[in-house]
């Protein structure tokens, strides 16, 4: 029964092995510096622009940072475990409704058990319900692999979508306007700077959590299971449990991003859970480079900024955008981060191009480094 | 229960199932043989509908347009396969998803530029617009024709796959790709052929549905997920599985829409039933897939290793 | 390895990054600091995806309105910035934020979709700018979320189907079958007609909507036919309209089950239906606050110049957009071109003192129009083009049912 599909999956896994997290940590310092630079730019530029009176850019950056947290969470299962969840938008929806529903009831009465304005309560609810949803759906989904896993996670998120659509009290498809943002000590989330600060700090936290996980024994088991699950099983490692825990952490983190999103948009609707949103999250991760801790951040930034600037030029901007996606796949193997890493791992001596910023490579004009084959090939122990 | 309605609903379910089969057959073959996750498969469904609809308005003949549209859709598929798709076969699935999503954006926008955003309402010739009355039961001729065309394609595919040399290679390819190429078969030609044939099937589905709904931008994106559900439930690479799953989903979706509120009203108040039934009936196919995958993670008919 | 090639690559990358930096910087530079001699209007609509049909019609009407106003009001230049919401609430909010915060517009208008309007609502009204909906009219904004900075040149969702309920009562229709998509506006339409219709509801179907919307209504039509109802009421906007009318015609129901619609048969769908020869729609009735043959000078000018310029009848979306620009222009005119005082502009707009294509109307406390609703029949005009003609006034000076919930 170990049929062609499984074998081809395995051969594809071989492609991924080279992109192991260990390798990246051992690799050149320069990509790390670029990542740091992107992060600093992401944190500082919008704030400078805001203080300079260009207040709109802080909104773009806030949305970008929140989606980046969601992408980082998705990468916990997609990058570490090699399990592409096509249903992560469901967690964003859960997190957002975990803010919207308590605020709604605190304002208009009813359902006093959950009503409230407290941000702690909202975040706790978002994390708890997302984790629970991840536990239940993950327990079933993780029985499958590859494309089947993609489809079953999509199925669960579609069920969530239709559930939200049928919630008449919370506006059904029209969505629900949130009257007040979450109340947190010391912070006033109505102030765009405070909100951005919280989101940015959360992104740093999410990256730190991922980094810690990946270096822990837990993370090593996950990465090993991605490369050769049967071997680990034969060693007596219950990979299923590890993967389920990773899925739950990922879901909870994504739910947290959803709670931030609700505070940013002060509006929630089932359209947050459409399957195309889950797809966009996958694109952000793959675009940036799923094998890299920082890939999702770069991918999200490239995605959002491209979407924004291309749509300035023409209503037909989907055409150049589509062509760009195809070019990225054909010529930037391993996403943007992969290309950066390859560029520097080959010629780390040349260091004067640190100024490469997050969008530059994604502009698509950067030609491919020839011979992406070197990037695949060998295995990591 | 009124039997004439039940029969009408069953016919509708069958018609939806047949359309899904036309879409899913190509999808499952490209998936099984070339290992290509092709999100843009249903773009040919849209393309077929647009080409056929505008030709019909231009020539006035549905049949002539159908033939021309099949040829043109096939040509478009061939150009896209040669120019881009064949470079994707060896890539990881997620890269394929990203690239074929890019293709959707491109094709949707090109259709927007070429035909405008409005879409085309396409007439049905009078000889197909009639109905057949058997007692109480009313059967629309055109829907019966869709079912006939779908079943014909299913039979053709069955004969092709089970009783010809090409079919043998296709089956072999679905179970063991490396082996087929090791046999010295021109694998590139085989792949091109399968891709074009699958795309034409999808285009045919679009041409069949256009006279009922209309040709519109993004019509493919609405049905591609359902087609994937069919492929997954049926088992990747299995034509038989695609056929069974397509009919199953067509029936469940249609009958669910028609009767779920009645069923629910039996054990809850009408108001709740009217709210819950549409949500649950929309969820039915996903519930079905989740249950089937939980029990049989490879789908109903996974291709056997030969 | 090939060093030269690598260096070449690096220069390309540097060039690319310089380019992207330049693009990014151009975004940061203050674009045309709010010029004192112009009034800026942001207009949010859908210009990509299939929804672009509606968006383009609205855009055409806005441009026609500007032409008729000679691009000026109150001695100032009128400038309209169009933004595409991509039919997504969060993109709608983002472009609205851009209009408010970066372009510093004085008004934001447009909004086809309820959820996009709901998502963008606070960005405008909380910045103390004026928001004019040229289509969407969800109940929360008419009721408990109502805001003094919000105005509508369209209707509240429930009003048009309520007029339909009234029309059915007037015609003595005793039983009805109802079909609508299963989303908020669809349910509003159903609730609207049910609240007024006095006969029996023989059956009701809410069909799947959204990204994978149901466009094959054969199952529902079979049920409707078997129900024995005296008429069928439907609401299917956009491309679902063509699909429904076609299947209705194909099922041969026009004699046994007369068709009553809202927001389904309009100037956008009729030309397509005519091209395909689907005459099952002829003679069907719908209700609307306006019609292309509504008899007043402003409307005559609007419809004839729209037809002349764009070759088709304007849709109701176009009429509402044309009115939105004229409402703004009249208020700016009245304040002598001063857009700094939002309260003064608001006070002017509350008077609805402009030449509307619907004739005279007034604003309620929630800034939703109190207006007439008409029944319209589908006919062929003198040139043979399919259009609608007003046959009677169904409701006079009708106010939406949510005005009471509004605290203004």
What is the predicted ipTM? 0.86
A5 lies in a domain? no
- Give C247's contacts in chain B (Cβ within 8 Å): 212
Q: For the segment C58-91, what is each residue's pLDDT rounded down to a tens digit?
A: 999 999 999 999 999 988 999 999 999 988 888 9
Q: Is C4 on the interface with A (CB under 8 A)?
A: no
Q: In this complex, do B216 and C251 lie within 8 Å of one another by their Cβ atoms? A: no
Binning pLDDT at 50, 70 and 90, where does residue C33 land? very low
Q: In a mutagenesis test of the B interface, which of A326, A331, A335, A339 is the best target, namely the one with the most B β-carbons within 10 Å?
A: A326
Per-window interface: C 185-224 vs A, CB < 8 A: 185, 187, 209-211
Q: In this complex, do A151 and B229 lie within 8 Å of one another by their Cβ atoms? A: yes
Q: Is A286 on the interface with B (CB under 8 A)?
A: yes
Give, as one character, the DSSP assignment of residue C231.
Answer: -
Q: For the segment A344-365, what is each residue's pLDDT rounded down to a tens digit?
A: 775 543 333 333 333 223 323 2
Domain range for A104 is 23-372
Shortest Cα distance, chain B CAs vs residue A137, angstroms: 10
- C152 by DSSP, 3-state: which? strand
Cβ atoms of C317 and C58 closer than 8 Å: yes
Cβ-proximal residues to C345 (8 Å cutoff; 6+ apart), any chain? C130, C331, C332, C335, C339
Q: In this complex, do B117 and C50 lie within 8 Å of one another by their Cβ atoms? A: yes
Q: For the segment C352-395, what is each residue's pLDDT rounded down to a tens digit?
A: 999 999 999 999 999 999 999 999 999 999 888 999 999 999 99
User: What pairing do the DSSP bridges indicate for beta strands C107-110 and C259-261?
Assistant: unpaired
User: What pairing do the DSSP bridges indicate for beta strands C150-152 and C76-84?
Assistant: unpaired
Of B91, B106, B282, the CB nearest to A323: B106
Q: In this complex, do A347 and C122 lie within 8 Å of one another by their Cβ atoms? A: no
- Give C317's contacts in chain B (Cβ within 8 Å): none
Helices (H), A289-375: 295-313, 318-331, 335-346
Nearest chain B alpha carbon to C50: B117
Q: Is B142 on the interface with C (CB under 8 A)?
A: yes
d(CA B104, CA B221): 8
On average, the pLDDT of chain B sits at: 86
Binning pLDDT at 50, 70 and 90, where does residue B56 land? very high
A380 lies in a domain? no
CA nearest neighbour of A207 among A310, A115, A89, A79? A79
d(CA B215, CA C77): 42
Half-sphere exposure of A56 (CA within 13 A, CB side): 19
Domain boundaries, chain B: 3-217
Cβ-proximal residues to B18 (8 Å cutoff; 6+ apart), any chain? B146, B147, B149, B150, B151, B154, B246, B247, B250
Q: Residue C53 to residues C49, C264, C265: CA-CA distances in angstroms?
A: 9, 14, 14
d(CA C294, CA A290): 60
The count of structural domains within chain A is 1
Of B98, B109, B282, the CB nearest to A287: B98
Per-window interface: C 113-152 vs B, CB < 8 A: none
Mean pLDDT computed over C88-107? 91
Mean pLDDT computed over C1-9? 41
Task: Tell me the domains of chain C and their CATH numbers.
Answer: 38-155+295-360 (3.40.50.2300), 159-288+375-398 (3.40.50.2300)
Per-window interface: A 197-256 vs B, CB < 8 A: none
- What is the pLDDT at residue B201? 95
Specify the range with the lowest mean pLDDT, choosing from A205-209, B180-184, C174-178.
Answer: B180-184
Shortest Cα distance, chain B CAs vs residue C245, angstroms: 9
Q: For the segment A295-349, what is each residue's pLDDT rounded down to a tens digit?
A: 999 999 998 999 888 888 888 888 999 998 899 888 877 778 888 887 777 554 3
- What is the pLDDT at residue A230? 83
Q: What percent of chain A has a predicted confidence (pLDDT) above 70?
A: 83
Q: Is A287 on the interface with B (CB under 8 A)?
A: yes
Length of chain A: 381
Q: For the segment A230-278, what is each residue's pLDDT rounded down to a tens digit?
A: 888 888 888 899 999 999 999 999 999 999 999 999 999 999 998 889 9
Q: In this complex, do C183 and A172 lie within 8 Å of one another by their Cβ atoms? A: yes
Torsion of CA B41, B43, B45, B48, to 10 degrees: -130
Paired tokens of A288:
């940036």
Q: Residue A307 to residues A312, A313, A359, B96, C50: CA-CA distances in angstroms?
A: 9, 11, 12, 21, 19
A234 lies in a domain? yes
Q: In this complex, do B98 and A329 lie within 8 Å of one another by their Cβ atoms? A: yes
pTM: 0.84
CA nearest neighbour of C159 among C360, C315, C366? C366
Q: Is C270 on the interface with B (CB under 8 A)?
A: no
A17 lies in a domain? no
* SS3 readout for C291-305: CCCCCCHHHHHHHHH
A6 lies in a domain? no
Q: Is C351 on the interface with A (CB under 8 A)?
A: no
Query: Residue A170's domain is classified under what CATH number?
Result: 1.10.3470
Specify the range with the lowest mean pLDDT, choosing from B45-54, B100-109, B191-200, C22-31.
Answer: C22-31
Q: In a mutagenesis test of the B interface, which of A5, A311, A364 is the best target, namely the one with the most B β-carbons within 10 Å?
A: A5
Residue A201 has pLDDT above 90, yes or no: yes
Nearest chain C alpha carbon to A367: C9
Shortest Cα distance, chain A CAs vs residue C56, angstroms: 11
Q: In this complex, do A166 and B293 lie within 8 Å of one another by their Cβ atoms? A: no
């Amino acid at each position: 029964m170990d049929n062609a599909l499984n074998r081809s999956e395995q051969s594809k896994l071989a492609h991924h092995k080279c992109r192991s997290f260990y390798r990246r940590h051992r690799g050149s310092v320069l990509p790390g510096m670029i990542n740091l630079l992107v992060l600093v730019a992401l944190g500082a530029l919008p704030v400078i622009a805001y203080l300079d009176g260009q207040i709109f850019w802080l909104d773009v950056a806030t949305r970008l940072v929140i989606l980046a947290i969601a992408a980082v969470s998705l990468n916990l299962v997609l990058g570490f475990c090699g399990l592409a969840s096509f249903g992560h938008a469901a967690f964003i929806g859960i997190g957002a409704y975990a803010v919207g529903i308590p605020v709604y009831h605190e304002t208009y009465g009813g359902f006093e058990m959950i009503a409230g304005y407290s941000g702690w309560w909202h975040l706790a609810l978002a994390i708890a319900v997302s984790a629970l949803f991840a536990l239940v759906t993950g327990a079933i989904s993780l029985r499958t692999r590859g494309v089947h896993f993609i489809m079953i996670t999509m199925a669960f998120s579609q069920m969530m979508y239709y559930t939200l659509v049928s919630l008449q009290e919370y506006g059904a498809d029209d969505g629900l306007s949130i009257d007040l943002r979450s109340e947190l000590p010391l912070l006033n989330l109505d102030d765009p700077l405070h909100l951005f600060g919280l989101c940015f700090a959360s992104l740093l936290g999410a990256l730190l959590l991922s980094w810690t996980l990946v270096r822990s024994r837990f993370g090593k088991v996950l990465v090993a299971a991605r490369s050769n699950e049967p071997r680990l099983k034969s060693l007596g490692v219950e990979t299923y449990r590890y993967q389920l825990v990773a899925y739950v952490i990922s879901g909870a983190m994504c739910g947290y991003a959803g709670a931030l999103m609700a505070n940013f948009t002060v509006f929630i609707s089932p359209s947050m859970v459409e399957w195309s949103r889950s797809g966009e999250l996958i694109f952000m991760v793959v675009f940036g480079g799923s094998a890299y801790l920082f890939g999702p951040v770069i991918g999200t930034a490239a995605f959002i900024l491209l979407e924004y600037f291309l749509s300035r030029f023409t209503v037909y901007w989907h055409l150049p955008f589509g062509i760009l996606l195809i070019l990225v796949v054909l010529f930037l193997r391993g996403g943007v981060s992969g290309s950066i890493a390859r560029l520097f791992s080959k010629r780390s001596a040349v260091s004067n191009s640190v100024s490469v910023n997050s969008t530059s490579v994604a502009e698509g004009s950067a030609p491919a480094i020839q011979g992406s084959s070197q990037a695949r090939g060998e295995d990591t122990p | 229960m009124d039997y004439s309605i039940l029969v009408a609903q069953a016919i509708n379910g069958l018609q939806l199932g047949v359309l899904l089969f036309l879409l899913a057959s190509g999808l499952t073959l490209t998936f099984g043989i070339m290992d290509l996750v092709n999100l843009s498969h249903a773009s040919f469904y849209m393309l077929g509908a647009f080409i056929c609809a505008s030709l019909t308005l231009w020539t006035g003949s549905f049949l002539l347009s159908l033939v021309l549209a099949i040829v043109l859709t096939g040509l478009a598929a061939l150009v896209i396969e040669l120019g881009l798709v064949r470079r994707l076969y060896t890539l990881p699935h997620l890269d394929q998803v990203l690239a074929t999503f890019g293709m959707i954006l491109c094709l949707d926008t090109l259709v927007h530029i070429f035909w405008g955003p409005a879409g085309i309402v396409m007439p049905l010739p009078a000889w197909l617009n009639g109905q057949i009355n058997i007692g109480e039961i009313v059967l629309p001729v055109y829907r019966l024709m869709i079912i006939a065309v779908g079943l014909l394609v299913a039979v053709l595919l069955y004969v092709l796959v089970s009783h010809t040399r090409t079919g043998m290679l296709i089956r072999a390819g679905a179970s063991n790709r490396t082996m087929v190429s090791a046999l010295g078969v021109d694998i590139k030609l085989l792949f091109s052929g399968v891709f074009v044939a699958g795309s034409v099937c999808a285009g045919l589905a679009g041409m069949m549905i256009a006279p009922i709904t209309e040709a519109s931008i993004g019509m493919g994106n609405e049905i591609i997920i359902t087609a994937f559900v069919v492929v997954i439930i049926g088992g990747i690479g299995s034509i038989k599985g695609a056929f069974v799953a397509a009919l199953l989903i067509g029936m469940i979706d249609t009958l669910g829409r028609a009767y779920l509120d009645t069923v629910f009203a039996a054990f809850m108040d009408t108001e709740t039933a009217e709210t819950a039934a549409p949500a649950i009936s929309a969820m039915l196919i996903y519930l079905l897939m989740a249950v089937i995958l939980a029990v049989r993670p490879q789908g109903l008919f996974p291709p056997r290793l030969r | 390895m090939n060093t030269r090639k690598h260096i070449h690559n690096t220069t390309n990358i540097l060039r690319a990054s310089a380019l992207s930096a330049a693009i990014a910087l151009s975004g940061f530079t203050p674009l045309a600091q709010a010029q004192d001699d112009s009034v800026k209007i942001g207009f949010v609509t859908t210009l990509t995806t299939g929804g672009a049909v509606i968006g383009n019609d609205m855009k055409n009407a806005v441009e026609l309105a500007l032409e008729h106003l000679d691009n000026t009001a109150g001695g100032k230049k009128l400038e309209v910035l169009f933004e595409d919401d991509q039919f997504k609430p969060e993109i709608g909010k983002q472009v609205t934020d851009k209009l408010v915060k970066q372009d510093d517009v004085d008004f934001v208008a447009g909004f086809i979709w309820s959820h996009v309007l709901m998502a963008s609502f606070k960005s405008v009204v909380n910045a103390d700018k004026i928001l004019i909906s040229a289509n969407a009219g969800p109940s929360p904004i008419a009721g408990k979320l109502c805001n003094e900075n919000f105005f509508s040149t369209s209707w509240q969702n429930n009003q048009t189907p309520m007029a339909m309920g009234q029309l059915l009562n007037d015609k003595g229709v005793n039983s009805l079958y109802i079909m609508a998509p299963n989303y908020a506006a669809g349910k509003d339409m159903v609730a609207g007609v049910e609240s007024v219709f006095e006969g029996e509801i023989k059956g009701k179907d809410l069909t799947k909507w959204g990204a994978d919307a149901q466009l094959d209504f054969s199952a529902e039509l079979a049920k409707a036919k078997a129900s024995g109802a005296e008429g069928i009421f439907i609401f299917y906007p956009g491309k679902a309209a063509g699909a429904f009318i076609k299947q209705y015609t194909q099922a041969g129901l026009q004699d046994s089950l007369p068709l009553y619609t809202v927001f389904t048969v309009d100037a956008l769908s009729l030309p397509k239906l005519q091209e395909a020869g689907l005459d099952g729609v002829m003679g069907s009735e719908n209700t609307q606050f306006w019609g292309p043959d509504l008899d007043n000078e402003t409307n005559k000018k609007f419809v004839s110049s729209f037809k002349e310029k764009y070759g088709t009848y304007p849709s109701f979306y176009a009429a509402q957009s044309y009115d939105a620009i004229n409402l703004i222009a009249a208020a700016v005119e009245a304040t002598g071109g001063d857009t700094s005082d939002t309260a003064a502009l608001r006070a002017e707009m509350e008077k609805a003192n402009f030449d509307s294509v619907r004739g005279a109307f007034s604003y309620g406390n929630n800034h939703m129009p109190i207006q007439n609703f008409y029944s319209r029949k589908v006919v062929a005009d003198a040139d043979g083009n399919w259009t609608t003609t007003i046959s009677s006034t169904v409701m006079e000076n009708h106010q939406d049912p949510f005005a009471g919930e509004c605290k203004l």
